Amino acid sequence: MLRNIKIEIEYDGTNFSGWQVQPKLRTVQGEIENKLKRVLGEKIKLVSAGRTDVGAHALGQVANFKTKSFLNLDSIFCGLNSILPEDIVIKNMKEVDFDFNSRYNAISRVYRYRIYLGRTALLRNHVWQLGYDVKISDIVKATEKILGKNDFSSFCVAKSSKKNNFCNVIYASWKKRKEELIFEIKADRFLHSMVRILVGTLMDVGRGYFSLADFEEILKSKDRKKAGKTAPACGLYLVKVNY
């Protein structure tokens, strides 16, 4: 009898070629699937809540897999964590209904983006080091414009554009902690590179390249070419997936 097991994962994406398995490349999915095969003695296919980019991180990625193994959860949990590399940790594991799907059952996701105002050696793989001043009050005003249901075609990779690019942004906020600016956003869905393009464009608002009216026009235009650059992946974190 097949069992369906859900896992919550934390990882440092610095030395990975993203989440998704790719031939001859080190990926988070590939590492976990290979180690699960050793623990369970069978080939495993992970279904994730979402794919993270090359260099992006996760505090709360979620995935599930089906297995024929009767090994108890504690043994799977401890065995898996004992052989995973140091940049991946399984935070939680539980058996779920057979029909549970990490991707399709998710009702919302939370992402965080970290910006360091200046230079840092210790955090260089985990923040975007910003080399210019920004006006935070302008960034906050522009961020308010993305709340609610909007078409985010201007803020996604053009080739990944779908028939429906509407997303409902439940909240989006900024906090300043010492030298860091921290952006957090929750939505029912996210388009490819949406958070990174939003952050890059909002920084252009903060430095005066775009006015608030310009930002509103970019959102309405549904044209990626009018938005700002894509912020680096190293500052992006998948924080939580809600079900």
pTM above 0.85, yes or no: yes
Q: Is the pLDDT of residue 63 over 90?
A: yes
User: Does 124 lie in the same domain as 73?
Assistant: no
Over the stretch 68-104, which tens digit does the pLDDT of each residue have? 999 999 999 999 999 999 999 999 999 999 999 999 9
- Other residues' Cβ atoms within 10 Å of the Cβ of residue 181: 24
Is there a single domain that holds both residue 81 and residue 19?
yes
Give the span between the Cα atoms of 68 and 5, in whole angstroms. 11
Residues with a known catalytic role: 53
pLDDT of residue 165 exceeding 80: yes
Domain that holds residue 194: 108-242
Residues 128 and 233 in one domain: yes
pLDDT reported for residue 144: 97
| Residue 112 belongs to a domain | yes
CA–CA dist 79, 2 (Å, integer): 20
- Going by pLDDT thresholds of 50, 70 and 90, the confidence category of residue 161 is low
Q: What is the DSSP string of the chain?
A: --EEEEEEEEE-GGGSS-SS--TTS--HHHHHHHHHHHHHSS----EES-PPPTT-EEEEEEEEEEE-----HHHHHHHHHHHS-TTEEEEEEEEE-TT--TTTT--EEEEEEEEEES--STTTTTSEEE-S---HHHHHHHHGGG-EEEE-GGGS-GGG--S--EEEEEEEEEEEETTEEEEEEEES---TTHHHHHHHHHHHHHTTSS-HHHHHHHHHHT-GGGS-PPPPGGGEEEEEEE-
Looking at residues 21-28, what average pLDDT do you find?
A: 94
Q: Is residue 235 part of a domain?
A: yes
Q: What's the confidence (pLDDT) of residue 163?
A: 75
Is the residue at 76 inside a domain?
Answer: yes
**pLDDT digits over 172-208, tens only?**
999 999 999 999 999 999 999 999 999 999 999 999 9
